[in-house]
Structure 1
Amino acid sequence: MKKVLFATTALVMTAGVAAAEVAVSGDARMGFIYDGDDLQFSSRARVSFTATGETDSGLSFGASFRVDQENGIDGEGDILNRSIDGLASQGTAGSVYVSGTYGKLTMGDVVSATEKINGDLYSVGYTDGAFGGDLEEITYLTGDGVNLDQGPNVLYEYSINGFNIAASMSDGSRVTCAGAVYGSLGCDDADLIADEDTDTAYSVAVGYDLNGYKLGLGYADNGDASEIVLSGEASFNDFTVKGIYQDLSDVAADDGVSIMEYDRTFGFSAKYDMSNGVGVQAFWRRDEFTLTDIATGADVDDEFDSYGIGASYDLGGGATLAGGIMDSDYQEDAVADMGIKFTF
């Protein structure tokens, strides 16, 4: 993404500390979304701050967050429930890192080690899959918005000779304050609703890159639930393909009538980026699960299939024209989007 430097390099007053800089970047989009019933206008604009620095000894450090992650105050001055979206000021949005010879350590709203190594299927559309519920994204057990009620998560990364190693975890401590602000270190006794220990979620993963080929293997544990994820990716000139397999254990949802236990998720995706700026993207995904009737105890095995295909055209200067169509057994009708997205 093209970066626009908003603040020039700031010289630190204290001796022995190297110079640091702050950059501002952004993204925006405008277009249309068809939700299966109606055609709707759709637009969004976001600004991101990225601060970086380096000590005299060569230790790198930095932080980044979006403007909409700076606080949890709504238009009426009330504190919002930020357990999902998070706050940069409390480490549940944005991230802070330190990096050196022995790897990179990042804390905040970070992805898990399993997701860092294996990633997701390729997105389609000008909203990058958001118009269809981000069906190209694999639902990992920890990280990337999960476990935010425990405060910041931590991710460690190290690379050597083509191998990429990662480990991540939550701290397993949940603090709930009045106003439903989670992970706050400044929660007064009068506002404290709950301070409890919960399951520490963790993940370990390893990947290998060699001449356009990538392999990944990861394991994650979140209480009784666990996952094993395998991935492979290969590039041939302008054509790239990727496959992901996720095996799940004790991952279930209970709606009071039945229990849905997820067994596995797997899928394939491909993209073709032509030299003239035209690109084509597609993915297929299947979720397999066991549905148990609570009253009778009867089990039924079932599956959901999801599809997506999209196209894009690079207009230059950070602007891209894109559109996509997605369909899934989760929803009754196919959905689509089309518009222009920008990076600044």
Structure 2
Amino acid sequence: MKKVLFATTALVATAGVAAAEVNFSGYGRFGLGYQEDRTQTTTLTDAGADGVPGTSDDVSYAGTTESDDVILVSRFRLNIDGIAETDGGVRFEGRIRVQADDDGQGEAGTAQLNGARYSVIFGGLRVDAGNIAGSFDNLANYYGYEVGLETFLGQYSGVDYSFATYSSTGAGVNGVFFQYAVGDFAFGASYDQAATITASNHVAPVPPATVGTLDLTEEDGDRWDISATYTFDNITAALAYGRQTDGGSGDDPSLLVFTLGAEFGDFAGTLFVADDNTENTEVDATDGTAYGLSVAYNVGAATTIQFVYGDGSADGDTRNVGIGAHYDLGGGVSLRGGIGQIKEGEADSFVRADFGAQFNF
């Protein structure tokens, strides 16, 4: 859904630059969240036989305990955008984000600062670098109409492939995203790389030394995505393909996604289908077809009703189904909520719901 964010702007004239400004925007949300049989996980780490934490014989133990089904949920997000534009009309942007979320167990979390994203924009061309959103994250109608104050249900729930996403609280992938729009067409591509480091052996320290040694192996990984979008009248079709290499082991995960979105007066809907190949050792659990849909219907001037469904053909895919609603109070403030069922693989399904207020600024 389109978000209108009003900013506080500082303008500074500089030589060779038409204008520079700093914008602040974001939103806050808070309310109650319900999850059937909510649990919390606690992890403890044993230093192993050598008694030194951080070596390859460390052992981690995880246990779960019951938690409150109903908790206070919240988020505060502040975007800080630095913008400059040359006399020739080339726009340069840099963004960082400050975000504070609840911890999922009813406790407040501290605000965190994320990695920076840099952008160059000219006409229909946009290039992002740093903490980017990749081609899938930017794909039209990938997320559809998510349900709930926390947008906890989505049509894409059956996808297991990991693609480049913008991180609100971390450093991000440090990649590059390119998009060019001309007329009704838009083309996109993204790339990022990461090194996977594994330990094959270790040598315990000999007293009085306190630090041992590890034999480490590094494999370079590359991940790239491409996309194409076409809009005709009130219908938008989009296609994206991504692939990831992992240093020559022979298993290259990939994802192919097709989305279709349309608006007809007060009704809007999206369709989603994907071919998901994670190349996991247990491919039956993750590889297959993911599919879903979402719809939104305006009931009067202030109320919007939503429905979403997402699933996949693999044994371990997650199914989402539910309904939600928004009620616009004006001034960027709305009441939001949703209820639905989530089923993760072969596990028992559970009900999740929430309700609260969101204000954009």
Question: TM range, normalised to the smaller chain?
Answer: 0.7 to 0.9
Distance in 1 between residues matched to 2:175 and 2:321, nearest whole Å: 32
Distance in 2 between residues matched to 1:332 and 1:219, nearest whole Å: 31
The structure with the larger Rg is: 2
Q: Give the corresponding residue for 1:168.
A: 190
Change (3 A) 1:7 1:160: closer
Distance in 1 between residues matched to 2:17 and 2:122, nearest whole Å: 16
- Match of 2:23, SS state, is strand
Change (3 A) 1:241 1:57: same
Q: Give the corresponding residue for 1:276.
A: 301
- Match of 1:3, SS state, is coil
Distance in 1 between residues matched to 2:197 and 2:22, nearest whole Å: 32
Q: Give the corresponding residue for 1:3.
A: 5
Q: Give the corresponding residue for 1:127.
A: 150
Distance in 2 between residues matched to 1:279 and 1:219, nearest whole Å: 32
- Superposition RMSD in Å: 3.0
Q: Give the corresponding residue for 2:46.
A: none
State the Cα deviation string for residues 101-148 of structure 1 (Å, max 9, x = none). Answer: 46110112322213422422311111222xx6x6755555321159x8
Q: Give the corresponding residue for 1:342.
A: 359
Letter in 2 for 1:311: A
The question of whether the paired residues in 1 share the 8 Å contact of 2:156 and 2:272 is answered with no
Distance in 2 between residues matched to 1:151 and 1:329, nearest whole Å: 29
Higher helix residue share: 1
State the Cα deviation string for residues 195-226 of structure 1 (Å, max 9, x = none). Answer: 94522100111010011101111110012111
Q: Give the corresponding residue for 2:26.
A: 26
Q: What is the TM-score of this pair, normalised by structure 2?
A: 0.72
1:143 alignment partner, one of 156, 164, 181? 164
The question of whether the paired residues in 2 share the 8 Å contact of 1:207 and 1:215 is answered with yes
Change (3 A) 1:150 1:62: closer
Deviation at 1:235, TM superposition (A): 0.8
Q: Give the corresponding residue for 1:227.
A: 255
Unaligned runs of 5+ in 2: 38-68, 101-110, 199-214, 246-251
Change (3 A) 1:306 1:251: farther
- Match of 2:309, SS state, is strand
Q: Within 5 A, what are the aligned runs for 1:29-178?
A: 29-37=29-37, 38-68=69-99, 88=114, 93-101=115-123, 103-118=125-140, 119-129=142-152, 136=156, 139-144=160-165, 151-173=173-195
Letter in 1 for 2:276: L
- Match of 2:136, SS state, is helix
- Match of 2:334, SS state, is strand
Give the number of equivalent residue pairs: 289
- Match of 1:19, SS state, is strand
- Residue 290 of structure 2 corresponds to residue 265 of structure 1: yes
Change (3 A) 1:252 1:149: farther
Identity %: 25
The question of whether the paired residues in 2 share the 8 Å contact of 1:247 and 1:264 is answered with yes
Distance in 1 between residues matched to 2:242 and 2:339, nearest whole Å: 32
Deviation at 1:151, TM superposition (A): 4.3
Distance in 2 between residues matched to 1:306 and 1:28, nearest whole Å: 25
Change (3 A) 1:175 1:98: farther
Q: Give the corresponding residue for 2:267.
A: 239
Change (3 A) 1:163 1:86: farther
Deviation at 1:171, TM superposition (A): 3.4
Change (3 A) 1:312 1:101: closer
Change (3 A) 1:6 1:150: closer
State the Cα deviation string for residues 40-84 of structure 1 (Å, max 9, x = none). Answer: 222222222122221011111112221249xxxxxxxxxxxxxxx
Distance in 1 between residues matched to 2:349 and 2:260, nearest whole Å: 31
Distance in 2 between residues matched to 1:238 and 1:108, nearest whole Å: 38
Q: Give the corresponding residue for 2:209.
A: none
The question of whether the paired residues in 2 share the 8 Å contact of 1:60 and 1:100 is answered with yes
- Match of 1:260, SS state, is helix
